[in-house]
Amino acid sequence: MEKSKLELKEEFLRKIEDIKNSCESLVAKVGHLQVDLFNHPDKDLEKSLDKLNNDFSNQHVYITELWHAYEDKVAALKG
């Protein structure tokens, strides 16, 4: 049986949320590694992690905005 438009949109929303959660996990993992570097400094790694953390954080903001907008679309379909 073919999925309804609402079912497809809900599936897409779950996948976007999964991407958002993965991004949150990446930010947290980079943060943990940055904390570990307090005891064992590595300037090159710290610089790279700062860039990664900034990039992941910016992407998380974008993905969260996308997720909220799509969530509103799904809610509108539900009525």
pLDDT tens sequence across 39-57: 999 999 999 999 999 999 9
How many domains is the chain partitioned into structurally?
1
**pLDDT at 3 (0 to 100):** 85
Specify the pTM.
0.84
DSSP state letters, 23-58: HHHHHHHHHHHHHHHHHS--HHHHHHHHHHHHHHHH
Residues of the chain with pLDDT under 70: none
Domain housing 51 = 5-78
